[in-house]
Amino acid sequence: MLLYASGEDYLEAILVLKKQTGAVRSVDLARYMGYSKPSISHAVAMLKKGGFLDTDEDGCLLLTDSGQEIAEKIYERHCFYKNQLVTAGIDPQIADKEACQMEHIISDETFQKIKKHLCQRNKEDSHHQA
């Protein structure tokens, strides 16, 4: 099943909420994302159908292995881009919003090369300052 940016956003939000609270219900996701409960229910059903999400007997949302992998990938990108933008002087709220857009449009290959380049550059900069 093809996963669009909105599906990735749901998975990322579930991952973030799980890290914060330990358990995530649909109502928590709706509150966090600012979406209606029917929208969340529809998205959850689609993500379950795609094999990215499951629910336990208490109704808590659980990422499957593939859902967890995608959520972690998107969250890593989000944090990376937000950090780079804030470091460049962008307001944190704007950086957060723009990082959310960037995380979806950059290919894995491009992301890895950007990350590698910036890490090497940071090492070189810190070496020259020492």
Over the stretch 30-71, which tens digit does the pLDDT of each residue have? 999 999 999 999 999 999 999 999 999 999 999 999 999 999
- 72-129: CATH topology is Diphtheria Toxin Repressor; domain 2 (1.10.60)
Each domain of the chain, given as residue ranges in start order, spans: 5-69, 72-129
Judge contact between 110 and 80, C-beta under 8 A: no
What class has domain 5-69?
A: mainly alpha
Over the stretch 80-114, which tens digit does the pLDDT of each residue have? 999 999 999 999 999 999 999 999 899 999 999 99
Stated pTM of the model = 0.86
Q: Is the pLDDT of residue 6 over 70?
A: yes
What are the φ/ψ torsions at residue 60 (nearest 5 degrees)? Answer: -75, 145
